[in-house]
Structure 1
Amino acid sequence: MPEIVKGHASAFPNALAIICDDARLTYGELDALSDGLATYLVSCGVKKGDVVCLLVPRALETVVAKLAILKAGAGYLPLDPAYPADHLQYVLDECRPKVVFTFANRSLDPGILSGSGSRVVDLSTVLQSLGSGDPSRLPNIEGGDLAYVMYTSGSTGRPKGVAVPHRGITRLVLDQNYIEFRPGDMVLHSTTISFDASTVDVWGALLNGSTLVIMSKANFSLTDMRDLIRKHEVTFINFTTGLFNIFADHADEPMPSLRHAIFGGEVASAPHVKRFVAAHPGCSLTNVYGPTEAACIATTFTVAPDFSASELPIGKAIAHTDVFLLDDDLQVVPPGIEGQIAIAGDGLALGYFNRPDLTAERFISVDTAEGIKRCYLTGDLAILDENETFHFRGRSDRQVKINGKRIELEEIETALRRHPRLAEAVVECREAGGVKRIIAYLRPREAQDMSNANLIPSVMERLRNSLPAYMIPSTALVMPEFPLTRAGKIDRARLPLPPIEDIQPAAVRSRTEEILMRLWCDALGLEIVPADRNFFDLGGTSLQLMRVHAGLELELGQRCEVLALFKHTTVRDMARFLDGHEQARPRAAASDQRAALQRRTMGQFRRSTP
């Protein structure tokens, strides 16, 4: 891959590679800067096949570092700095990265890095002090070499790292049948770097000579996204399904520059698809499916302008990829028969990092009509129709997808069972009002904890210290015993829904409170919300808060900084803020601070107005 970017730099050195706020980086500058950083990594002892950690947010420097890590022959390990210390510690202990890149102005638990044995480097500082690179010191890269390690939820109670080779990325964005990146394209990068969909954004742009447009704000709004699309005339955008649905719900404003949008991560909503297609007739829309173990995308379905079906298929296999449906004996089934999806081809991961047992279990050899194929068993069920199009039919296990994130419920259960006051814990995902909720069922060791109001807060607080926010149950229920089947196993079908809280409708004090309560109810799937309860304590997520924000701006007819909702997290508090009864302003966003740092760091490079 690095040779491809270098080829673009040689042919078109002045072409824009990256835009982030007011910083610009050409392909020539990107190549030179990443050569320097790669040479630095080699001088730090980084060798082919090593791991270098990116404990940094989405930023211009982060993209430079990704390319430099690949040039040095290593694989990058992207981690969200917002993840709990226990999660970060586990991943760092397992991967033992040679170098960990951080940003000095980001607060991190010093204990996380002190015991890792890694060299901890401030990325911004080292980029400012780099000398000229020495490409002769850099190794030759082959398609089977490690490119990145991406961690996903694990059914054994711990996250697992998926090791993806270079050929997995090149096969994803080069010579494909579902997309065509062009040198003039402006590709929006708004996905989290620890989410595998970011592979499409970053490398789809840089391997095709396009321009990557980075969303610098960590917590951005729908308005922020639309403004960036208009400002830079973005042509390609990559959504999670949840974000796509919000975008489609507010798709009344024209986006004439958009040429292609893809979305995936969860089952598609046909009404939202139809709404988007009607609002953006000049934009091709593609539903994508694929796990991290198959480099993010395996099948795609591009929506026809006259699409009228009630559900979307997941489509057909993309180029350089084979997809089969298998029965319980791992034999290929014919069209019309439901089976487990197995994926083969160049996109397959090398396996799970340092987990040969799990790799052997999930990456198997399958006897197909084309011969023996190495396949990844997804656990997803599908059926193949007469047009050779795949239709998703659910899971064969307890894995769920929420807001595009893959969650193994067993990992949450394992974390809960570590609590000393619990004898047993069960986790289920239930859907109500179109909103998925993770529910924790807790059986305490001591009888007095049945009525202890502090048990649930204590358990949830401990859970927040070990699992990412998107895996935290939205509610919990304490039970003396769990219902059992005749075989003595927990009967999950008989686990009750948590009782509806006895919430009396609050007296509405203003039109703003009435609007906020309605928006909260819609986003959270609740009939009533208390005016003084924290949005996130009610099971809200940042994506649901984005939906509230979009509706709020529409209702009020004015701009509102999304960070205000993260600061004022109750209906009453936010209403006071909006009505001007509270003068406090949200503090400067970390992303704004990052933008200022980028301007200083990249000051030696050309700035221009696009």
Structure 2
Amino acid sequence: MTTVTPLPADPARGTPVPQPDAATTAPVRPSAPATALPALVERHAERTPDALAVVDGDTTLTYGRLLGAGRALAAYLREHGVERGDRVALLTARSSRTIVAQLGLWLAGAVCVPLDPAQPRPRTEAMIADAEVTLTVGDAKLLDAATLPGPVLALPEAPLTTGRPLDASDPDSPAFIMFTSGSTGRPKGVLVPHGAIAELVTAPDYVTVSGRDRVLFHSPMTFDASTFEVWVALANGAAVVVCTEQRPSLEDLAQHVERHGVTVAFFTTALFHQLAARRSRVFAQLRSVVVGGEAMAAAQAREVLTAFPWLELVNGYGPTETTTFATAHRVTARDCEGPVPIGRPMAGATAHVLDADGHPVDDGDRGELWIGGSRLAHGYTGLPELTAERFVSRAATGRLYRTGDIVSLRTDGILQFHGRNDDQVKVRGFRIE
């Protein structure tokens, strides 16, 4: 896994630089699965139309109703001028309408640019400008309060019910523009394609998800973990359980999980540590928990696995540029004797541990982690030079993304995380330059 052909070095910087044929604005990707995200919903709507797809408080949507509402909204958007390839911002409170809106945008062929109602207005305006948004759609009250630049369109208050089949998305077209970076520095919009998300969530081997599960959706839409929360459920015939509290407390989460029988959840590392320190009863209901965003503390992992030994605890790692998770590790009690590893590449990703000159390092030595494979983002919107710097293409390996993270490879093929090689830090899972 680490023995890739060395990347050429820039003598002035001592770091790998793009080849002359390196991708700048256009991706050079291995073949992606021939699946766009709407096709995942359509598959289950055809097989089990009456199966539960979304739970939002007392509101429920079956797969058949979800697909019907998405198709109707796509027709509504087309009637209001949305065309294939348009970048449309989405401003909603987290709800079932959020999921219908995402589906409707993709069926209309648009790219979804999620916005968070709680984020500062200057950041929202910068995201709209950098993503070259042509229209912002969302909840009428939020749109009125935000007074955002450019055209806006309020979504219908009740889900529409009639619409002809329409699917203008394809596996390699962008599904989302997810913005990374935090409260300092200019946000960077990452173009994440449909096929990369579909490969991440369909029949995953890093976490157990079946049609009988209920998956918690509680992350902000602007956080790439929300992609996992919603689409790992819908890709596998499970139900999405929407947490209706927009900023839920620990008690809110526990009550919501208990009330709706949630079995699978993602928690940021910081939130997981808080829940673990309290031995929260949230773990008593859950079967599988995926954790990511920062280094997992062994002490907290041990606490949870001791108190809830049946729990499938997964340590996930991956920048937004690699589509949510690139590596994963199922944590055992033995892993808690030292730093918890980040595991192996999964779902089409590859991992390469390189030195400053782009050469593979020996097992056990530290180097920078470069991620390759079929789930890389297209790059950064409007930033071709940065895209060329961070996404490097070579004939031998395909495209690689330079993470800036320092890792080492154990003799058993498991990756250990050792921190950053720059000034970037994370706060509650969010990157700050």
Scaled by the length of structure 1, what TM-score is found?
0.63
Query: 1:150, CA displacement in angstroms?
Result: 0.4
Query: 1:49, CA displacement in angstroms?
Result: 2.1
Q: Is residue 2:281 matched to residue 1:253?
A: yes
Bigger Cα displacement from structure 2, 44-53 vs 215-224: 44-53
Find the counterpart in structure 2 of residue 183 from structure 1: 211
Query: Which has the greater radius of gyration?
Result: 1
Q: Is residue 2:153 matched to residue 1:121?
A: yes
How far apart are the structure 2 equivalents of 1:254 and 1:344?
35
> SS of the counterpart of 1:150?
strand
Q: Is residue 2:404 matched to residue 1:379?
A: yes
Q: Pick from 43, 51, 54: which aligns with 1:18?
A: 54
> SS of the counterpart of 1:374?
strand
Scaled by the length of structure 2, what TM-score is found?
0.87
Q: Does structure 2 conserve the Cα–Cα contact (< 8 Å) formed by 1:188 and 1:234? A: yes
Find the counterpart in structure 2 of residue 535 from structure 1: none
Q: Does structure 1 conserve the Cα–Cα contact (< 8 Å) formed by 2:301 and 2:336? A: no
Q: Is residue 2:400 matched to residue 1:400?
A: no
Query: 1:201, CA displacement in angstroms?
Result: 0.4
Count matched residues: 397
Q: Is residue 2:205 matched to residue 1:167?
A: no
Find the counterpart in structure 1 of residue 163 from structure 2: 133
Q: Does structure 2 conserve the Cα–Cα contact (< 8 Å) formed by 1:256 and 1:282? A: no
Q: Is residue 2:381 matched to residue 1:353?
A: yes
> SS of the counterpart of 1:161?
strand
Q: Does structure 2 conserve the Cα–Cα contact (< 8 Å) formed by 1:19 and 1:214? A: yes
How far apart are the structure 2 equivalents of 1:195 and 1:335?
33
Q: How does 1:82-121 map to 2 (within 5 A)?
A: 82-106=118-142, 111-113=147-149, 116=150, 118=151, 120-121=152-153
**Residues 155 and 22 of structure 1, relative CA distance in 2, 3 Å threshold:** closer
Q: Pick from 288, 295, 312: which aligns with 1:267?
A: 295
Q: Does structure 2 conserve the Cα–Cα contact (< 8 Å) formed by 1:264 and 1:288? A: yes
Query: 1:81, CA displacement in angstroms?
Result: 1.6
Query: 1:218, CA displacement in angstroms?
Result: 1.1
How far apart are the structure 2 equivalents of 1:326 and 1:308?
27
**Residues 233 and 294 of structure 1, relative CA distance in 2, 3 Å threshold:** same
Find the counterpart in structure 2 of residue 336 from structure 1: 364
How far apart are the structure 2 equivalents of 1:190 and 1:2?
21
Query: 1:319, CA displacement in angstroms?
Result: 2.6
Query: 1:124, CA displacement in angstroms?
Result: 4.0
Q: Is residue 2:349 matched to residue 1:321?
A: yes
Counterpart of 2:381, as a letter, is: F
Q: Pick from 255, 267, 272: which aligns with 1:239?
A: 267
Query: 1:254, CA displacement in angstroms?
Result: 7.2
User: Mind listing any 5+ residue stretches in structure 1 that lack a counterpart?
Assistant: 409-610
Bigger Cα displacement from structure 2, 170-179 vs 376-385: 170-179
Q: Does structure 2 conserve the Cα–Cα contact (< 8 Å) formed by 1:281 and 1:305? A: no
Q: How does 1:201-216 map to 2 (within 5 A)?
A: 201-216=229-244
Superposed CA deviations along residues 318-374 of structure 1, whole A, max 9, x for unmatched, are 13110101111222223122111110112100110121111111000257xxx2320
Query: 1:67, CA displacement in angstroms?
Result: 1.1
Query: 1:107, CA displacement in angstroms?
Result: 6.7
Q: Runs of 4+ in structure 1 displaced over 6 angstroms?
A: none
**Residues 21 and 51 of structure 1, relative CA distance in 2, 3 Å threshold:** same
How far apart are the structure 2 equivalents of 1:168 and 1:296?
10
Bigger Cα displacement from structure 2, 208-217 vs 256-265: 256-265
Query: 1:376, CA displacement in angstroms?
Result: 0.5
**Residues 396 and 97 of structure 1, relative CA distance in 2, 3 Å threshold:** same
**Residues 204 and 252 of structure 1, relative CA distance in 2, 3 Å threshold:** closer
**Residues 350 and 275 of structure 1, relative CA distance in 2, 3 Å threshold:** same
How far apart are the structure 2 equivalents of 1:44 and 1:251?
50
Find the counterpart in structure 2 of residue 157 from structure 1: 185
Q: Does structure 1 conserve the Cα–Cα contact (< 8 Å) formed by 2:425 and 2:432? A: yes
**Residues 108 and 404 of structure 1, relative CA distance in 2, 3 Å threshold:** farther
Counterpart of 1:399, as a letter, is: Q
> SS of the counterpart of 1:10?
helix
Bigger Cα displacement from structure 2, 91-100 vs 101-110: 101-110
Q: Does structure 1 conserve the Cα–Cα contact (< 8 Å) formed by 2:121 and 2:146? A: no
Counterpart of 2:153, as a letter, is: V
Query: 1:257, CA displacement in angstroms?
Result: 3.6
Find the counterpart in structure 2 of residue 200 from structure 1: 228
How far apart are the structure 2 equivalents of 1:265 and 1:30?
31
Superposed CA deviations along residues 500-524 of structure 1, whole A, max 9, x for unmatched, are xxxxxxxxxxxxxxxxxxxxxxxxx
How far apart are the structure 2 equivalents of 1:263 and 1:255?
13
Find the counterpart in structure 2 of residue 577 from structure 1: none
> SS of the counterpart of 1:25?
strand
Counterpart of 1:376, as a letter, is: Y
Superposed CA deviations along residues 253-274 of structure 1, whole A, max 9, x for unmatched, are 3744411101010111111000
Q: Does structure 2 conserve the Cα–Cα contact (< 8 Å) formed by 1:186 and 1:212? A: yes
How far apart are the structure 2 equivalents of 1:156 and 1:213?
33
> SS of the counterpart of 1:49?
coil
Find the counterpart in structure 1 of residue 45 from structure 2: 9
Q: Does structure 1 conserve the Cα–Cα contact (< 8 Å) formed by 2:178 and 2:224? A: yes
Query: 1:30, CA displacement in angstroms?
Result: 0.3
Q: Does structure 1 conserve the Cα–Cα contact (< 8 Å) formed by 2:292 and 2:316? A: yes
How far apart are the structure 1 equivalents of 2:317 and 2:161?
43
How far apart are the structure 1 equivalents of 2:390 and 2:282?
45
Q: Please give the root-mean-square deviation of Cα atoms over the aligned residues, in Å.
A: 1.9
Identity of aligned residues (%): 38
Query: 1:154, CA displacement in angstroms?
Result: 7.5
Superposed CA deviations along residues 416-446 of structure 1, whole A, max 9, x for unmatched, are xxxxxxxxxxxxxxxxxxxxxxxxxxxxxxx
> SS of the counterpart of 1:224?
helix
Counterpart of 1:231, as a letter, is: R
Q: Is residue 2:59 matched to residue 1:27?
A: no
Find the counterpart in structure 2 of residue 539 from structure 1: none
Find the counterpart in structure 2 of residue 599 from structure 1: none
**Residues 175 and 208 of structure 1, relative CA distance in 2, 3 Å threshold:** closer
Q: Does structure 2 conserve the Cα–Cα contact (< 8 Å) formed by 1:102 and 1:122? A: yes
How far apart are the structure 1 equivalents of 2:161 and 2:281?
47
Q: Does structure 2 conserve the Cα–Cα contact (< 8 Å) formed by 1:330 and 1:366? A: no
Find the counterpart in structure 1 of residue 19 from structure 2: none
How far apart are the structure 2 equivalents of 1:191 and 1:220?
10
How far apart are the structure 1 equivalents of 2:174 and 2:48?
28
> SS of the counterpart of 2:208?
coil
Find the counterpart in structure 1 of residue 4 from structure 2: none
Q: Does structure 2 conserve the Cα–Cα contact (< 8 Å) formed by 1:259 and 1:283? A: yes
Find the counterpart in structure 1 of residue 312 from structure 2: 284
Query: 1:48, CA displacement in angstroms?
Result: 2.4
**Residues 238 and 348 of structure 1, relative CA distance in 2, 3 Å threshold:** same
How far apart are the structure 2 equivalents of 1:190 and 1:219?
8
How far apart are the structure 2 equivalents of 1:158 and 1:307?
37
